[in-house]
Amino acid sequence: MIVWSALKRLFEARPVAFGILICGVVFLAEVASLFVLHGESVAALKDNIRHSLTRIARVASSVVDADLHASFNDPAQEKSPEYERAIAPLRHLQESDEDIAFVYTCVLKDGKVYFILDPTEEGDSDEDGVDDKSHIMDEYPEAAPQLIAALEKGVSTADPEPVSDRWGTFISGYAPLRDSKGVLIGIVGIDLTADKYVERLALIQSALMLGILVAGLLALLTGIVAAMVKRTALREKAEANQRDEENKREISNALARLEMAYSVVDFARQRFVQLFEGLPVPCLTFDSEYRVFEFNQQAAAAFGLSASRSLERPIYEVFGGESFANSERKALSGVLKGKSFSDREWSFKRRTYILSGHPLTSPEGEITGGILAAVEVTRQKAAEDRVKVQLRELDQAHRALSQANQDLIGANRKLEALATIDPLTGLANLRAFYARLQELIDGAYRGETFSLIMTDIDHFKAFNDKRGHLAGDRVLIDVGNVLQQCLRSPDMLARYGGEEFCALLRGVSLETAKRIADRMRETVESMGSECGAVTASFGVCEWSPELSTPESLVNSADEALYRAKQEGRNRVVLASRGPKRAA
């Protein structure tokens, strides 16, 4: 306690010591914050690097021909055209980003990891005594735990920290590689050199050092400012003490002047009577029993008051009980309790006044009555009433205009809906279909795939020729309804034209889309119709880098649909994985 008291007196009396204390506290707080931010930044950078490596690995996995990959099991195959074709996408990915050290694929056999594809050129470019390229079925005994986990579980992952092997130290990302049946056959690995990783961490470390330096400067500046403020406060405190002594002397003089003031109270009271009579508005006073005590000439003229009928009578009787309602009586009661009021509207003999009331006190401060003043505002009140009527009319016009705007907005929405909906089936039309297709293509470039199903009603012309166009329209409506029931809420079904429909399936692979198309085909076949049996043919394709435009996707699905027609109708045919090659 003694030490604390001594320190308190020291800091209060010594501005420099106080500034040093503030400087130290601010510096420690800023450094602590910087270390917290540094830790969060390092964690965020590591997560970002691992996420980027995993994403690149998934992209690499998507461009590898998994079925062709499964055929490689002999180093002699590295001279074959198939091997060159298999590593071409990986080589293109490796060359597209200078930060990528290696791109490769691995498989797991008999509990051991083996390399398969590696687009790296043969040789020892870094002169470390190790061939830069791995070959088919080269064993990889240094495989990281995350690589083995990706091979065993078929998940995308990345190393938490750099891992060393015979080629150097790297941080790597992995993605599963599956064949056309969805079977896990291996993984794709992406290596980033540890130098790049350490270089990015070093930037954060440099920022930390710079932040500590800036924190020191700010803390020093804060300490200097605190010392200056403390010095100013001490000076002002001394000045305040001096002013306090001066105020005491002034209070003593004020008491002497107060005694003189009592001598002029009587004179002031007389002066009040003179001023009361000279006020330009009606005024009257009343005592604690609400009896009229006095009134001026303006009040006598305005309210018809006379001494014989008004003085010493209750104010309610003078003006009539109807003129002073409960609200006015409560206001006068409040005046006798010391509560003034103003701007209170009051009507008397078809005239409108604004009342104000204030308490009257004795020299001892005791409330002895009140004074009431009235300002006539009859003309102003009439003008205000006219303005209120005009404002109500303006408000009604504004509401009518707002309703007209809402009606216009509703009409525009209906027009927009008509522009995107097929009028016969109620499904999305061609315009809405292509708008949604472009949205899904944009999303596919961010990693979310989708599939397209194109269907055509078999022998539809026969329905029209045999039953007429109204029956054909009924078939189109029924088929559209059953196809829509086979889809999820995020999917879109559109009438492409004539008897053709297109379905867009977000996040759905080609194999899943085929199962959905089979279900749609079976539903159409079993739905029944007044025109007899109805069947449909289906063509299915999935987005890929080779099918990246609306035209190529639609053409691919249309070609598959054409093959379904050629093979006998009432069937589902998958489009080829890439665009058709020229003969």
Please, which residues bridge with residue 107 across strands? 114
CA dist 73 → 19, 78, 113, 391 (Å): 76, 10, 13, 90
Q: Which of 84-93, 432-441, 569-578 has the highest mean pLDDT?
A: 432-441
pLDDT of residue 418: 61
Q: How many other C-beta atoms can be found within 10 angstroms of the C-beta atom of residue 550?
A: 16
Helical segments of 263-377, H only: 265-278, 297-303, 307-310, 315-319, 326-335
Check whether 433 has a pLDDT greater than 90.
yes
Element (H, E) at 548: none
CA–CA dist 332, 327 (Å, integer): 9
CA–CA dist 453, 510 (Å, integer): 10
Both tokens of 565, joined, read: 């027609």
Residues, the chain, total? 583
pLDDT of residue 415: 59
Check whether 569 has a pLDDT greater than 50.
yes
Q: Assess if residue 435 is contained within a domain.
A: yes
Check whether 275 has a pLDDT greater than 60.
no
% of the chain at pLDDT higher than 90: 38
Rg of the chain on CA atoms, in Å: 47
pLDDT of residue 91: 92
pLDDT level of residue 187 (50, 70, 90 thresholds):
very high
Q: Assess if residue 569 is contained within a domain.
A: yes
Give CA 282 to chain center in angstroms. Answer: 63
Residue 343 and residue 211 share a domain: no
pLDDT level of residue 262 (50, 70, 90 thresholds):
low
CA–CA dist 560, 93 (Å, integer): 30
Residue 211 and residue 277 share a domain: no
Q: Assess if residue 579 is contained within a domain.
A: no
Model confidence pLDDT, tens digit, residues 377-427: 888 877 777 878 878 877 787 787 778 678 666 656 665 656 789 999 999
Of 87-91, 336-340, 576-580, the one with minimum mean pLDDT is 576-580
Say whether 139 is catalytic. no
pTM, two decimal places: 0.36
pLDDT of residue 582: 31
Region 100-118: what's the mean pLDDT?
93
Check whether 583 has a pLDDT greater than 50.
no
Question: Which CATH number fits the domain that encloses residue 449?
Answer: 3.30.70.270
Region 228-243: what's the mean pLDDT?
85
Region 38-61: what's the mean pLDDT?
88
pLDDT of residue 273: 62
Helical segments of 304-459, H only: 307-310, 315-319, 326-335, 378-420, 430-444
pLDDT level of residue 502 (50, 70, 90 thresholds):
very high
Helical segments of 486-509, H only: none
Please, what sign has the CA dihedral across residues 260, 265, 270, 273? positive
Q: Assess if residue 403 is contained within a domain.
A: no
Strands 536-542 and 572-574: parallel
Q: Assess if residue 414 is contained within a domain.
A: no
pLDDT level of residue 270 (50, 70, 90 thresholds):
low
Region 68-93: what's the mean pLDDT?
91
Cβ neighbors of 122 (< 8 A, separation 6 or more) are: 131, 132, 133
% of the chain at pLDDT higher than 70: 90
Residue 568 and residue 460 share a domain: yes
pLDDT of residue 252: 79
Q: What's the DSSP call for residue 269? A: H
Residue 315 and residue 224 share a domain: no
Residue 284 and residue 146 share a domain: no
Give the residue numbers spanning the domain of 219: 14-121+133-232
Q: Of the listed 294, 499, 542, 559, which one is catalytic?
A: 499
Residue 203 and residue 284 share a domain: no
CA–CA dist 162, 33 (Å, integer): 28
**What is the tally of structural domains in the chain?**
3
| Maximal CA-CA distance, the chain | 135
CA–CA dist 164, 144 (Å, integer): 9
Model confidence pLDDT, tens digit, residues 331-348: 888 888 888 988 788 787
Residue 63 and residue 183 share a domain: yes
pLDDT of residue 231: 86
Model confidence pLDDT, tens digit, residues 511-563: 999 999 999 999 999 987 666 789 999 999 999 999 989 999 999 999 999 99
Region 247-264: what's the mean pLDDT?
73
Residue 290 and residue 203 share a domain: no
Residue 87 and residue 220 share a domain: yes
Q: What's the DSSP call for residue 447? A: T
CA–CA dist 368, 14 (Å, integer): 58
Both tokens of 387, joined, read: 């303005």
Q: Assess if residue 88 is contained within a domain.
A: yes
Please, which residues bridge with residue 453 across strands? 503, 540
Question: Which CATH number fits the domain that encloses residue 160?
Answer: 3.30.450.20
Check whether 509 has a pLDDT greater than 90.
yes
Q: Assess if residue 126 is contained within a domain.
A: no
Residue 28 and residue 168 share a domain: yes
Q: What's the DSSP call for residue 77? A: G
pLDDT of residue 508: 96
| Domain termination site, one of 213, 232, 251 | 232
Q: Assess if residue 110 is contained within a domain.
A: yes
CA–CA dist 221, 227 (Å, integer): 10
CA–CA dist 534, 467 (Å, integer): 13
Q: Apex CA 241: angle with CA 236 and CA 246, to 5°?
A: 120
CA–CA dist 24, 30 (Å, integer): 10
Residue 54 and residue 182 share a domain: yes
Both tokens of 9, joined, read: 């007196």
Residue 446 and residue 567 share a domain: yes
